[in-house]
Amino acid sequence: MKIRVPKIMSDEKISISEMIIDDELYNSGWIFSFYSVLEKRNNSELDFKENKFFWQYGVFLKRYFEVPIHNWSKDVDGFLSKYLEKDYYVILYSNCSIENSSNEHCVLFYDSKRTKHKNVYSCCKWENYKVSYFDGGINDIRKEFIDVKFIDLTQARFDLLRTGKEEFDYNSLDISILKSDLNKRHRIGFLDLLFSFFSNIFVVEKNLVILKEWFEIFLLRKKYLSIIIEGSNNYESKFRTIFASNLNLRLKLIKLLLLYKKLLKQLERCLENEESFTM
């Protein structure tokens, strides 16, 4: 099955949605109704607002599976080949702890081919905010691609996602979703800025990656909405300049967060008057 290169790679679930969502929803810009605002988690990490698999919009049929494992290779091989043949994208989860924060990691299986001796799977995983790809049999994948120590060898957890045109009835960017997200929470206050400054350097680096992704999505959204946001060009160019600068990372993050707030405010103002743009 085909996949596309995602714009967001800092969040695995959002990446997957972007990679596999139906062309019509991607090319019409519908998907950019989402990811408009960032939230701050307790550990000061920024995060795109929870709209991970769009199952609630009927875009994907999403199913969650728990598979008891007696023989890892055999059981996982059997499960993957069965559901990939039925046009499901299959996500295998693992739990691991990185940099003192508990994270859930996954591998996306998006294709399989039966060769003479084995099933060969196409899969990908996320590392350092990048997607890496691998093709191989289940034992090659386990040996060379998955860090088995993070995998539960007694019970595997899978999400299965299937797209289908009959599942949805959207064909353009959904302003109501965008407006409601903008109204809800995009306020990053003084304390948040302070926390950003004193955050762990790993968190600062991750937040910079997320802000950059958010900015790219912001530009795409603007393009799909065909709108001119008053004064935004100035902020956008500042955003690019600061991002490319050699500033101290913490300082850079604070400056970018201030610009993020300003850009969102401009977008919100622009959407208040719906007649000022065309869809």
Per CB under 8 A, residues contacting another protein are 55-58, 61-71, 74, 79, 82, 154-155, 166-168
CB 46 within 8 A of CB 39: yes
CB atoms within 10 A of CB 202: 13
Cβ(264)–Cβ(179) under 8 Å?
no
Residue whose token pair is 């709209």: 51
CB of 170 to another protein, least distance (A): 12
Minimal distance, residue 162 CB to another protein, in Å: 10
Cβ pair 136, 121 in contact under 8 A:
yes
Of 62 and 262, CB closest to another protein: 62
DSSP codes of every residue in 24-44: HHHHTSGGGGS---EEE-TTS
Taking phi over 0 as left and psi of -120 to 50 as alpha, with beta for the rest, 2 belongs to beta
Q: Give the CA-trace dihedral at 12, 14, 17, 20, to 10 degrees.
A: -50
Q: Give the three-class secondary structure for 187.
A: coil
Instruction: Provide, rounded to whole angstroms, the least separation between the CB of residue 155 and another protein.
Output: 7
Separation of alpha carbons 102 and 43, rounded Å: 11
Query: Residue 48 or residue 88: which is nearer to another protein going by CB?
Result: 88
* Bridge partner list, 40: 46
For another protein, which is the closer residue by CB, 71 or 234?
Answer: 71
Task: Return the DSSP state at 111.
Answer: E
